[in-house]
Amino acid sequence: MSFWREMIKPPRLRKGGKIGIVCPAGGADLVAIKRGMDELRKLGHDVVPGRNLKKLAKTGFFSAKAKDRAIELMNMFEDEEIGAIISSRGGYGCMELLNQLDYEAIKENSKPFVGFSDITALLIAFNQLSNLITFHGPMIGDLLWIEKPEQAKKNLENLLNVISNPEPIGEIKNPSGAPYIQTIGDGIARGALIGGNLTLISSLMGTPYQVKVLNKIVLIEDVDEPPYRVHRYLTQLELGGIIEEASGFIVGEFTNTPKRPGPSIEEVLREKLSNKPSIYGLACGHGTYRLTLPMGCRAVLDAESRKLIIEEEAVS
């Protein structure tokens, strides 16, 4: 049975539009965030730092207390002058915000919202509770602005093109120099994109914010995770019915994987996902190349041909 719920396409980011920067999880690296914001300004956009970023706030693991992070996020959505919201960085903390946000207000004030890693919790929540297309893409405080600034700039330009262009996106291709995409399981999958960071998807299991994947194409990626833990996370998804219900899987990069004896990440993926149309190696997530994916958009995955096609525009 096919099921499709029409998603809200946020208004596109206009030329010179204001971009709000939020810290919903960990505190930003000040050198990286300055370089990212400077680049946005060079590209013609006004940049509006959130209240916690302005204070250079930090509380324990987080940029600020959960209440203050939720207020910062809601302020950005409700500010009519803000054309898009980009997270400063991931880290840890977004799950704390999920029961403190006004999803109806977010729906009524829709705008492109961008992030990845820990921000996955918000991408999924806004998809499911605000019916809003969100964007799994690069963040303004990425350490890549320090380590590989030229590639960080290209990643940002790709993001701005996606959230500014009200045309069907078409095929998503890895850039030159990125990893080679492999087929994990043959077949063709159709459905809306959903997902993000594997750790967050697993952590949301059993909560009201658990990812709903029926007839959807699920993205997973992660960083610093050894193969046995990836196996554990995928087993959790398997036991929870996620793998069976999903239409197919897009596996991004698994970076900084600790070297230990035993099966590789690829072997784990082949064991768990080979019965579903699945590819491995799309350049999104924690790697050097960070493509922007519109979460909630209809897509077709041809795993044998290693092609992902976004069938519609992501913004209005």
Find out whether 142 and 202 touch, Cβ atoms under 8 Å.
no
Q: What percent of the chain has pLDDT over 70?
A: 98
Beta-ladder partners of 136 = 115, 293
Domain with CATH 3.40.50.10740 in the chain: 18-164
Number of Cβ atoms within 10 Å of the Cβ of 28? 29
Note the pLDDT tens digit of each residue in 184-213.
999 999 999 999 999 999 999 999 999 999
Give the model's pLDDT for residue 28.
Answer: 84
170-310 belongs to which CATH class?
alpha beta
Q: Which residues contact 170 (CB under 8 A, 6 or more apart)?
A: 309, 310
- pLDDT of amino acid 2: 44
Read off the tokens for 252: 């991004």
DSSP string computed for 60-124: TTBSS-HHHHHHHHHHHHH-TTEEEEEES--SS-GGGGTTSS-HHHHHHT---EEE-GGGHHHHH
Q: Quick check: 1 pLDDT over 50? A: no
Q: Around Cβ 82, how many Cβ atoms within 10 Å?
A: 20
State percent of the chain over pLDDT 90: 91
Quick: pLDDT tens for 95-130.
Answer: 999 999 999 999 999 999 999 999 999 999 999 999
CATH 3.50.30.60 placement within the chain: 170-310
Tens digits of residue pLDDT in 224-267:
999 999 999 999 999 999 999 999 999 999 999 998 889 999 99
pTM assigned to the model:
0.96
pLDDT score at 57: 62
User: Could you tell me the CATH superfamily of domain 18-164?
Assistant: Murein tetrapeptidase LD-carboxypeptidase, N-terminal domain (3.40.50.10740)
The whole-angstrom separation of Cα 49 and Cα 26 is 15
